[in-house]
């Protein structure tokens, strides 16, 4: 195996490990602050690091500012991908088990297929519909026992699935735009703008009285901002440049890492419901990705 292949595999595994850790890190963070406060500080910190890197920190090339049309596109993408998706996701994790959060994130490729078909006027294939049904059934199956021990609520699951719908729509919107800005700059501006859009709601409903900026909170924020939003996305963009379909296959590992983190760090149980639900989601992902790969070949 070549060094290049080892680098690609290592990058894929690192991405899966970091991406799957977001739900557990969020669960720790909301113990010390309201979800809105946690989300807003995370967005601003990630935006500061990314924009600082793109605009000259460390003696690197300084990129241009977006033009009028790009500001509009970045604002729409930031509203969808950061304010609504991540805002709802962080809020949902207050009422949802960490493992379920990782499992739900892995359904994004399935929903993206559905939205892509809808936006371009193409009828989804039977395999695509079946893959989505399998994914949703898997989440329902893994969630069922958690509803009884009160570690997960219907409100949390509803907000979580709504956030998955929104981020899938945001991904399709992103793919339909002919961006001329570099990926890091797009991510830096969209996460910053998303934080600005969320800020008024944080001030109004953030429950500042319950905010405890302790070690748990700051470890959570730093991990979510730097490890997930910065390093994780750098790995993701690298994988996307190599092969879009192969990159999405690394999402198969996210539920496995996610449930391991939840069991290891938060003592969440791994039952046969968990195993069967995860296998259903992975099977749905496999069918959906195989269908996409066949279409690209044809």
Per-residue pLDDT tens for 138-154? 878 887 777 776 677 88
Looking at the domain assignment, is residue 92 inside a domain? yes
What is residue 69's predicted lDDT score, i.e. its pLDDT?
A: 95
> Which of the four pLDDT bands, split at 50, 70 and 90, describes residue 278?
confident
Looking at the domain assignment, is residue 225 inside a domain? no
Q: Which residue has the tokens 């690091």?
A: 49
Looking at the domain assignment, is residue 147 inside a domain? yes
What is residue 241's predicted lDDT score, i.e. its pLDDT?
A: 72
- Domain holding 179, by residue range, is 65-187+239-297
Q: Which residue has the tokens 């989601």?
A: 281
Looking at the domain assignment, is residue 276 inside a domain? yes
User: Which range is least confidently modeled, 30-39, 215-224, 240-249, 252-261?
Assistant: 240-249
- Of 24, 37, 47, nearest to 233 by C-alpha is 47
Q: What percent of the chain is predicted at pLDDT more than 70?
A: 88
- Of 101, 74, 32, 93, nearest to 197 by C-alpha is 74
Query: Per the structure, how many domains does the chain have?
Result: 1
Instruction: Quote the crossing angle between the two packed helices 3-20 and 233-242, to the nearest 10°.
Output: 140
> Which of the four pLDDT bands, split at 50, 70 and 90, describes residue 253?
confident
| Interatomic CA distance for residues 32 and 42, integer angstroms | 14
pTM for the structure as a whole? 0.82
Looking at the domain assignment, is residue 290 inside a domain? yes
Looking at the domain assignment, is residue 31 inside a domain? no
Looking at the domain assignment, is residue 201 inside a domain? no
Q: Are 170 and 78 in contact (CB under 8 A)?
A: no
| Interatomic CA distance for residues 128 and 281, integer angstroms | 13
Inter-CA distances, 217 with 52, 214, 220, Å: 23, 5, 5
Checking if the pLDDT of 298 tops 50, the result is: no
Looking at the domain assignment, is residue 45 inside a domain? no
């Amino acid at each position: 195996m070549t060094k290049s292949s080892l680098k690609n595999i290592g990058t894929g595994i690192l991405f899966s490990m970091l991406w799957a850790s977001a739900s557990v890190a969020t669960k720790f963070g909301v113990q010390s602050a309201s979800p809105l406060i946690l989300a807003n500080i995370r967005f601003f910190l990630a935006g500061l690091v990314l924009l600082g890197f793109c605009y000259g920190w460390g003696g690197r090339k300084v990129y241009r500012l977006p033009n009028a049309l790009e500001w509009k596109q970045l604002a729409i993408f930031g509203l969808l991908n950061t304010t609504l998706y991540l805002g709802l996701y962080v809020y949902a994790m207050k009422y949802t088990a960490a493992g379920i959060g990782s499992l739900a994130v892995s359904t994004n490729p399935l929903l993206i297929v559905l939205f892509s078909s809808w936006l371009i006027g193409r009828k989804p294939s039977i395999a695509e519909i079946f893959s989505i049904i399998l994914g949703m059934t898997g989440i329902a199956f893994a969630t069922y026992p958690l509803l009884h021990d009160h570690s997960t609520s219907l409100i949390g699951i509803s907000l979580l699935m709504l956030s998955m719908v929104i981020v899938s729509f945001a991904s399709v919107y992103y793919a339909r735009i002919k961006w001329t800005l570099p990926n890091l700059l797009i991510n830096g501006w969209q996460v910053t703008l998303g934080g600005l859009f969320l800020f008024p709601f944080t001030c109004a409903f953030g429950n500042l009285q319950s905010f405890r900026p302790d070690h748990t909170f700051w470890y959570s924020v730093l991990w979510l901002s730097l490890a997930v939003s910065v390093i994780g996305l750098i790995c993701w963009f690298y994988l996307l440049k190599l092969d879009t379909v192969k990159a999405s296959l690394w999402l198969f590992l996210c539920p496995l890492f996610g449930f391991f983190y939840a069991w290891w760090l938060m003592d969440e149980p791994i039952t046969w419901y968990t195993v069967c639900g995860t296998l259903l989601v992975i099977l749905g992902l496999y069918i959906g990705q195989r269908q996409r790969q066949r279409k690209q070949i044809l």
